[in-house]
Amino acid sequence: MHRVAVIGVGCTRVGELWDKSLKDLIVESATKALDDAGIDKVDIVYVGNAYSKILQTQGNLGSFTVDSLGFEGIPAVSIEAADCSGSLAFHEAYKAVRSGLVGKALVVGVEKMSDSSPEEVAKALMSCEDQDYVAFTGVTQPGLHALVLRLYMETFKVKHEEIAEFTVKAHKNASNNPYAQFKNPLKVEDVLRSPILADPLRLLEYTTVADGSAALVLCSIEEAEKMGKKPVVEVLGSASATDKLYLPERIGKLSFNATREAAKKAFEEAKFSVDKVNFVETHDSSTIMGVISLEDLGFVGKGRGASLVVEGGIEIDGKIPTNTMGGSKGRGNPVGATGVYQLVEAVLQLRGEAGKNQVKDAKIGLTHTIAGVGNFATVNILGCL
């Protein structure tokens, strides 16, 4: 088994990027990552994307990506697992490099959503759920999050404004992130006064249409040293896990097995526990998912996630700095690319390049992506070498 390093990262700005196509996005992030690594060739490409088949009718993204980059002949793997697509692509690339079968791997996460109508996007967002018995009811993806939000507030007697605070913190961190989608500061009243998407979930509690791409280059530490490089960031643990697709079967727990299982496996591999983690990039596809994720990852007890947020525990200088570059709400959520953005942000933190949002003495970071309302999760742990 080989120790694996991240030797290059790159990403595009996140937003409604009207002048950029799927290909433009891929090439921009991938070439930045290759330049950052100081290489121009890799042995394999892993692409994470959730919706190109639905929104662009563009399939076969492996070949599409390799060809866009002017590479030829190398293998490529295209991975779809909704919001976990990008982080799962990373996980699979990691396993390949760790095994020794692959030398240098490029991971690209990409999503292009702004070309499509709101109806098409809503349909795409529901594609990670059971079509015959969940989508058929007419529920939307925000509607599913709202079901969890209401039950959580009722069960733990938590106020909506406490949970909505997650968005306030997200926008605050995003304001210092040059590639974030939403840099405007918000007050909790703004969040609670925004239009209702699906009661009780408000517009500003949920992520929106975004385009973006992020990329990184992985290789073994030996390989990096052979190239005369001194890698800074190592992958210490990486895992993914699934859970039942039908939310009603598991909603009562208000906790997601997929997250807990992936975290357990990733920490087993890293051989330390959650108290060693200096910062976390989690997937606040909605405020409530952010809150529950903090609990499921073990940063705070069950039903206490919102209190941690309100008390400032997730701020840059807090107990566990969370979504340091704005998270999915602030940086934006180009779905299949989101997991790779998190990893890029974690690498920037570990290299001390996070600018105004730099976490002091950041040595170990955790990234966590969750698909839909918990049917799939990935957890990655990175550390300084």
Partner 1 sequence: MLSAPRYWREIRYRYRLIGSRCLKCGKIYFPRRLVCAVCGSRKLEDYKLSEKGKIKTFTVIRRSPPLGYEKNVPYVVAVVELEDGVNVLSQIVDVSPEEVKIGMPVELTFRKVRENGKEGIIEYGFKFRPIFE
140-145 CB contacts, 8 Å cutoff, 24+ apart: 140/197, 140/198, 141/372, 142/197, 142/198, 142/201, 142/206, 142/286, 143/197, 143/198, 143/201, 144/247, 144/372, 144/373, 145/198, 145/201, 145/206, 145/285, 145/286, 145/288, 145/289, 145/373
Is 247 near partner 1 (CB under 8 A)? yes
Report the number of secondary-structure helices (H) and strands (E) in the chain.
13, 11
Q: Smallest gap, in angstroms, from Cβ of residue 4 to partner 1?
A: 34
Q: Which is nearer to partner 1, 108 or 373 (CB)?
A: 373
Q: Residue 171's closest CA among 274, 290, 86, 85?
A: 290
HSE on the CB side for 134, CA within 13 Å? 22
By CB under 8 A, the count of residues binding partner 1 is 40
Give the amino acid at 128: C
Q: Which stretch binds partner 1 (CB under 8 A): 7-15, 213-221, 240-248, 272-280?
A: 240-248
Neighbouring CB atoms inside 10 A of 272's CB total: 14
Among 10, 62, 143, 365, binds partner 1 (CB under 8 A): 143
Q: Would you count residue 118 as binding partner 1 (CB under 8 A)?
A: yes
Q: How far is the CB of 198 from partner 1 (least distance, A)?
A: 4
Strand segments (E) across 12-131 = 44-48, 76-79, 104-111
CB closer to partner 1, 142 vs 327: 142
| Cβ at position 51, least distance to partner 1 in Å | 15
Q: Does 159 bind partner 1 (CB under 8 A)?
A: no
Q: Which stretch binds partner 1 (CB under 8 A): 58-66, 173-181, 192-200, 338-346?
A: 192-200
Q: Per this entry, what is the length of the chain?
A: 385
Residue 57 engages partner 1 in binding (rule: CB under 8 A): no
Considering only 19-27, 71-79, 98-106, 118-126, which stretch makes contact with partner 1 by CB under 8 A? 118-126
198 binding partner 1? (CB under 8 A) = yes
Sign, Cα dihedral of 184, 185, 190, 195? positive
Site residues for partner 1, window 258-297 (CB under 8 A)?
Answer: none
For position 101 contacting partner 1 by CB under 8 A, the verdict is no
Question: Is 135 a binder of partner 1 (CB under 8 A)?
Answer: yes
Q: Which lies closer to partner 1 via its Cβ, residue 124 or residue 346?
A: 124
For residues 295, 319, 339, 297, the Cα torsion angle rounded to the nearest 10 degrees is -20
Nearer to partner 1, 192 or 203 (CB): 203
Tell me the C-alpha distance between 21 and 132, whole Å: 32
Q: Contact residues for partner 1 (CB under 8 A)? A: 118-119, 121-123, 126, 130, 132-140, 142-144, 146-148, 150-151, 154, 195-201, 203, 244, 246-249, 251-252
